Structure 1
Amino acid sequence: MSYQDIQFQIEAGVARLTLNRPDKLNSFTAAMHEEVRDAMSRVEAGEGGARVLLLTGAGRGFCAGQDLGERKREPGGAPVDLGETLGQNYNPLIRRLDALAMPVLVGVNGVAAGAGANLALAGDIVIAKASASFIQSFCRLGLLPDSGGTYVLPRLVGRARAMGMSLLGDRISARQAEDWGMIWQCVPDDEFDATLDRLARQLAQAPTKGLAYTRRALRASVDNNLAQQLELERGMMAELGRSEDYAEGVAAFMAKREPVFKGR
């Protein structure tokens, strides 16, 4: 498939997916969703030796959510089925990101609003420019935070802040998001690209099977009790202990050399 609304490349183990409708703040259309689905299939297949997914946006915005021009109700027309839009496009994307067998690094280069904000928060490590911001803009349209927003927000920032963000729709700066624990790091604008590249390389060279299991375990922990989580850890450690990366890590430690991991 040729891409018009995204940019996608795999290099040195990093699959870089860039939302690319900068004139529309990278808001989603059906066509963009189709291209993202195709790129995600390539990532899931490990094409090009992909070991980390880097998701970011082109231009001055990360993603403004849904392109409302595609979802407006024509005069006298039937109501738009937003549930169908979620069921066909957004929800499957969030599930695929959650299930991905590699780390997901998100670079928020500008405003992340609506579903775009919650897409960003679906990542494992979220880096944002100091000039970036997050807006749960649904309340301005009579809607609720979708794309996992009502699930992830209270778990990241607590009930009170999740309520304030969702009911008031205030703009949250990248610095405030970092202070609240909503994202990993807010960086100066001129350090953003270098920071993303460094972290992407670091993750791609790491023992990525172990990282994939770590992200699965941490994500499962929010719904597990201690006994369930201990059993999950036991099973995962038993499998990881048989991995090539673990053997390489031990061998490199004993030989006092840098390990060369392969993600298996």
Structure 2
Amino acid sequence: MSYQAISYTNDAGVAIITLNRAEVMNALNGQMRAEILEAVKRAEAEARVIVLTGAGRAFCSGQDLGDGAAAAGLDLERVLRDEYEPMLRAIYDCRLPVIAAVNGAAAGAGANLALAADVVIASDSAVFLQAFTRIGLMPDAGGTYWLPRQVGFARAMGLALFADKISARQAVDWGMIWEAVPEVDFDHHWRARAAHLANGPTAAYGAVKRALREGYANDLPTQLELEAELQGSLGQSHDFREGVMAFLEKRPPQFEGR
């Protein structure tokens, strides 16, 4: 597929989806949302890890308010249901690990696009901003779901009401993201992290994602049963057998993702 609003590469099991509208700080328009959705589905079928990142100086500045549809009167309810929800669910429900490599500002829906990923790695020059109330809106694109779970209710409320910028380092301290690394090391670092996951036990990563997420709603007996079910399946996998043999033979494992 030929992409206009993103770029897509897949090398050694690492699928990199780059938001590629640098002239508008990678603002999300309808075309970009459709292309991200298609690229995530494509990557899930042919890669072992997905990276979302941005071209230029921003990760994503959020909804493109200069989009022609917006200028004509944007039906936000329709856009959220028909365009944002499928894109965000494809990322969140993906069986592969998804890394958001946040290279710069992540604002509004752009911040929440990053939070949809399993792991957020940010440049220490990046900032996160729930910008919605600055234009008379409330957080969307999953923000009201992810923020309270990651930073707690009080901080989520403050971020939503005041629309303050927070630095990548502060986002780490608050538990919003996994890590912030010096800008000079950023590209090398996230690529190394992605390569590590691409060479790992892909099925086990999928089970980790399912178990941790369902654990929010499950009681202890239900969660213990789920762990037993998932672990039982993994115990029959090639990668478990390979991991045990590698341990016994004192060598690095050669996981195949199955």
Tell me the TM-score range normalised by the shorter chain: over 0.9
Please state if 1:84 is matched with 2:84. Answer: no
The aligned counterpart of 1:119 is 113
The aligned counterpart of 2:15 is 15
Tell me how far 1:226 sits from its aligned partner: 1.5
* CA distance in 1: counterparts of 2:22 and 2:240, whole angstroms: 42
> In the alignment, which of 153, 163, 174 is matched to residue 159 of structure 1?
153
Please state if 1:55 is matched with 2:52. Answer: yes
One-letter code of the match for 1:10?
A: N
CA contact (8 A) 2:37 2:90 kept: no
* CA distance in 2: counterparts of 1:186 and 1:8, whole angstroms: 24
* CA distance in 2: counterparts of 1:208 and 1:246, whole angstroms: 11
Tell me how far 1:254 sits from its aligned partner: 1.2
The aligned counterpart of 2:70 is 72
The aligned counterpart of 1:198 is 192
* CA distance in 1: counterparts of 2:217 and 2:91, whole angstroms: 18
* CA distance in 2: counterparts of 1:34 and 1:151, whole angstroms: 22
- SS of alignment partner, residue 18 of structure 2: strand
Aligned length: 257
* CA distance in 2: counterparts of 1:259 and 1:236, whole angstroms: 21
Alignment of 1:1-264 (within 5 A): 1-45=1-45, 47=46, 50-70=47-67, 71-74=69-72, 79-264=73-258
- SS of alignment partner, residue 123 of structure 1: coil
Greater shift, 139-148 or 126-135, is seen at 139-148
Tell me how far 1:3 sits from its aligned partner: 1.1
* CA distance in 1: counterparts of 2:150 and 2:44, whole angstroms: 26
Q: Could you give the per-residue CA deviations for residues 28-59 of structure 1, whole angstroms, max 9, x where no partner exists?
A: 111112221221221122x2xx1000110010
* CA distance in 2: counterparts of 1:231 and 1:98, whole angstroms: 23
**Deviating 4+ runs (over 3 angstroms):** 71-74
- SS of alignment partner, residue 194 of structure 1: helix
Tell me how far 1:190 sits from its aligned partner: 0.2
* CA distance in 2: counterparts of 1:67 and 1:173, whole angstroms: 23
Tell me how far 1:73 sits from its aligned partner: 4.9
Runs of 5+ in structure 2 lacking a partner? none
Q: Could you give the per-residue CA deviations for residues 193-228 of structure 1, whole angstroms, max 9, x where no partner exists?
A: 011111011000111110111011111112222222
* CA distance in 1: counterparts of 2:191 and 2:74, whole angstroms: 40
One-letter code of the match for 1:82?
A: L
Greater shift, 92-101 or 236-245, is seen at 92-101
What root-mean-square deviation, in Å, do the aligned CA atoms of Structure 1 and Structure 2 show?
1.1
Tell me how far 1:72 sits from its aligned partner: 3.2
* CA distance in 2: counterparts of 1:34 and 1:124, whole angstroms: 21
Q: Percent identity?
A: 53
CA contact (8 A) 2:65 2:71 kept: no
Runs of 5+ in structure 1 lacking a partner? none
* CA distance in 1: counterparts of 2:34 and 2:89, whole angstroms: 15
* CA distance in 1: counterparts of 2:93 and 2:41, whole angstroms: 12
One-letter code of the match for 1:64?
A: S
Structure 2-normalised TM-score? Answer: 0.97
Tell me how far 1:95 sits from its aligned partner: 0.9
